[in-house]
Amino acid sequence: MKNSGLSSSIERPPHGPLHRIYETLGPLTVLVPPDSKLLYQTALQITHDWTLYGNGDAVILQAAENLPDSNLIFLGGPEQNNMTAQFLASCVSDIDISSNEIKVGEYRYTLPGTGIIFHQPWQQRHMAIVIAGIDGSGFSSAAQLLPKRTGMVVSDWGKRFSVHC
């Protein structure tokens, strides 16, 4: 088995920059619906990049009744991906995603090409990232913001909103 990520003897809380998703002792799990070629291709790219740049293990799941005990990346909003819907239903959040708008707090985004990427703690010691868009272009734009490896800094825009699972 390959190195499954960066290991540390110090337990860190599951928050911080997006690249912390790769700091895991287990495999990185990418959750994608079974019926979307675009989302599956993105999952392949994410897992390829993590294997290539981080020498880490990654798993793509197209269906799961129970979410795994690992760091998670959800591809697609709740209307596209049942696993995203299940995850977001377990969270208290200021973020709402549908096929025609993304709401962040009191702000509504409805233009084609709009996407979102955000993260939050998962099961006290893990991290989850959701990548979604109003359309394929918005999803692709948001997916490009996911760092390919640790140490890559991605800008943090806007005000902080509350998301708790």
Question: Residue 36: what pLDDT?
Answer: 94
Strand partners, 130: 74, 118
pTM confidence score: 0.82
Q: What domains lie within the chain, and their CATH numbers?
A: 27-149 (3.30.379.10)
CA distance 44 to 69: 21
Rounded to 5°, angle at Cα 162 from 59 and 152: 50
Question: Residue 9: what pLDDT?
Answer: 35
Question: Residue 25: what pLDDT?
Answer: 72
CA distance 9 to 144: 31
Burial of 43 (0-12, 13-18, 19+ CB in 10 A): buried
H or E stretch covering 43:
helix 37-54
Residues in contact with 68: Cβ distance below 8 Å, sequence separation at least 6, in sequence order: 29, 59, 61
Low-confidence ranges of the chain (pLDDT < 70): 1-20, 149-165
Contact assessment for residue 142 and residue 115, using Cβ atoms and an 8 Å cutoff: yes
Other Cβ atoms less than 10 A from the Cβ of 89: the count is 10
If phi over 0 gives left and psi between -120 and 50 gives alpha, with beta otherwise, what is residue 150? beta
Question: Residue 162: what pLDDT?
Answer: 45
Question: Residue 4: what pLDDT?
Answer: 46
CA distance 72 to 121: 10
